[in-house]
């Protein structure tokens, strides 16, 4: 961390301690704004579902009767907007702690993130259409969460896509199930580990993540046979996959394992845990990579370049100067403080937002329609 960013953290921390009881001053020190509005013509509806894959025992726990549980959120074009959009975070009280650990700020400094509004309306009716909507499935990064790229979810839904994001339980910062149970974050490793230790953890982890996405596809196919008109609005012959960081690696891997995916996007994807046989095989579907110019470990882009060279379909690789890892999630777009604490770079958030939304939307429109 640079000295200026460390100094900023110290000033904010000390100042906030002096006024920690003041609910007015803290939001001034660290302001949060509602999410920017999507540009498409459609209002956006959203629903949350809890599913269980009883064919897979949970890898992160030792209980033999503990089967893999999935929380999925869907954003979709709606016929009408409700009176008030959903909060950005559900179960905000439970999420503040894990988020504060991730951004390294005290909980009381970011508690007002619970006031941030999305542009999505809970359980709003899906828009009538002569044909079903193409589907995009999203995978978050290590310690992330399903709503971490809500801006892109809402933009795509407003443009006529259905988007489904999953919480990878025990890999997300916290997963909160509808019955009140939670799955904490258990995927952290020491920064410097031997190659054998790295693969002993990351390989079964990425396989679990990919299996989550395959299960979702299988489950959606089953749901379409049960008569609910909502599920029949998904066109499972036109499915894309997208992920951030470890989710980018997950998206690439599952695109090779499962031919039901027709296009793939990685947002600042982390490719160190992508197996060599996947890199050597390459992709046979359209692929878009958007990310920062440099990773600390050059192996990341060495692996990406190997994947692209070995792919049978031309890939797009867009590296944006002045960006950091978390620029490819929502955070720089709802607080200007992100750049001051090292979570985003120097690229103006409005320019970054326009670039990401335009490139991602045009990519999926081209390859899923």
Residue 13 has pLDDT above 70, yes or no: no
Q: Hey, where are the domains in the chain?
A: 31-368
Instruction: With beta carbons less than 8 A apart as the criterion, state whether 335 and 27 touch.
Output: no
Instruction: With beta carbons less than 8 A apart as the criterion, state whether 301 and 309 touch.
Output: no
pLDDT at 160: 98
Residue 61 has pLDDT above 60, yes or no: yes
Residue 16, token pair as written in the block: 């906030």
The mean per-residue pLDDT over the stretch 96-117 comes to 87
Determine the 3-state secondary structure of 62 from DSSP. coil
The mean per-residue pLDDT over the stretch 11-37 comes to 67
pTM of this structure: 0.92
Counting residues of the chain whose pLDDT is more than 70, the rounded percentage is: 92
Contact residues for 209 (Cβ-Cβ < 8 A; gap 6+): 139, 168, 171, 246, 247, 250
Architecture of domain 31-368: 3-Layer(aba) Sandwich (3.40)
* Kind plus residue range of the DSSP H or E element containing 100: helix 92-103
Higher pLDDT, 252 or 62: 252
The mean per-residue pLDDT over the stretch 334-362 comes to 92
pLDDT at 189: 79
Rounded CA-CA distance 153/137 in Å is 10
pLDDT at 368: 97
pLDDT band at 8 (very low <50, low <70, confident <90, very high): low
Rounded CA-CA distance 9/342 in Å is 10
pLDDT at 206: 97
For the ranges 1-15, 200-214, 322-336, which has the lowest average pLDDT? 1-15
The mean per-residue pLDDT over the stretch 342-363 comes to 95
- 162-178 confidence digits (pLDDT tens): 999 999 999 999 999 99
Residue 149 has pLDDT above 70, yes or no: yes
Backbone angles phi, psi at 281, to 5 degrees: -75, -45
Q: How many CA atoms lie within 13 A of 98 on its CB side?
A: 23
Residue 1, token pair as written in the block: 């961390």
pLDDT at 7: 45
For the ranges 6-20, 108-122, 251-265, 318-332, which has the lowest average pLDDT? 6-20
Rounded CA-CA distance 167/277 in Å is 27
pLDDT at 19: 53
pLDDT at 101: 86
Instruction: With beta carbons less than 8 A apart as the criterion, state whether 244 and 141 touch.
Output: yes
The mean per-residue pLDDT over the stretch 339-353 comes to 91
Rounded CA-CA distance 112/106 in Å is 12
Residue 193 has pLDDT above 90, yes or no: no
pLDDT at 4: 46
Rounded CA-CA distance 231/269 in Å is 30
For the ranges 35-44, 108-117, 211-220, which has the lowest average pLDDT? 108-117
C-alpha distances out from residue 271 to 139, 172, 235, Å? 14, 18, 29
Give me the DSSP letters along 15-30: HHHHTTT-TTHHHHHS
- Please provide the average confidence, as pLDDT, over all residues in the chain: 91
Rounded CA-CA distance 34/37 in Å is 9
Higher pLDDT, 258 or 189: 258
Backbone angles phi, psi at 153, to 5 degrees: -60, -45
pLDDT at 363: 98
């Amino acid at each position: 961390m640079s000295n200026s960013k460390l100094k900023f953290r110290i000033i904010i921390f000390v100042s906030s301690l002096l006024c920690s009881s003041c609910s007015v001053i803290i939001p001034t020190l660290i302001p949060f704004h509602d999410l920017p509005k999507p540009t498409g013509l459609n209002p956006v509806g959203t629903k949350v579902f809890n599913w269980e894959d009883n064919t897979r025992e949970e890898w992160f726990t030792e209980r033999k009767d503990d089967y893999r549980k999935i929380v999925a959120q869907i954003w979709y074009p709606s016929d009408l907007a409700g009176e008030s959009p959903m909060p950005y975070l559900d179960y905000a009280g439970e999420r503040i702690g894990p988020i504060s650990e991730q951004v390294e700020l005290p909980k009381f400094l970011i508690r007002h993130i619970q006031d941030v509004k999305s542009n999505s309306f809970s359980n709003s009716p899906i828009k009538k259409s002569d044909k079903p909507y193409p589907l995009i499935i999203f995978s978050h990064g290590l310690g992330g969460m399903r709503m971490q790229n809500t801006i892109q979810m809402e933009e795509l839904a407003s443009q006529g896509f259905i988007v489904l994001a999953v919480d990878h339980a025990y890999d997300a910062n916290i997963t909160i199930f509808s019955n009140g149970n939670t799955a904490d974050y258990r995927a952290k490793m020491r920064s410097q580990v031997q190659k054998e230790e790295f693969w002993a953890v990351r390989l079964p982890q990425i396989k679990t993540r990919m299996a989550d996405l395959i299960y979702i596809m299988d489950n959606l196919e089953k749901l379409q046979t049960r008569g609910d008109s909502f599920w029949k609005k998904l066109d499972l012959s036109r499915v894309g996959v997208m992920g951030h960081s470890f989710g980018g690696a997950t998206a690439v891997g599952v695109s090779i394992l499962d031919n039901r995916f027709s296009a793939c996007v990685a947002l600042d994807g982390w490719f160190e845990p992508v197996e060599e046989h996947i890199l050597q095989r390459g992709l046979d579907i359209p692929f878009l990579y958007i990310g920062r110019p440099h990773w600390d470990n050059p192996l990341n882009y060495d692996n990406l370049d190997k994947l692209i060279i070995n792919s049978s379909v031309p890939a797009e690789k867009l590296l944006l100067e002045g960006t950091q890892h978390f620029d490819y999630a929502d955070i720089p777009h709802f607080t200007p403080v992100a750049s001051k604490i090292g979570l985003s770079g120097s690229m103006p958030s409005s320019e970054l937002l326009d670039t990401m939304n335009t490139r991602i939307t045009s990519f999926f429109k081209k390859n899923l329609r």
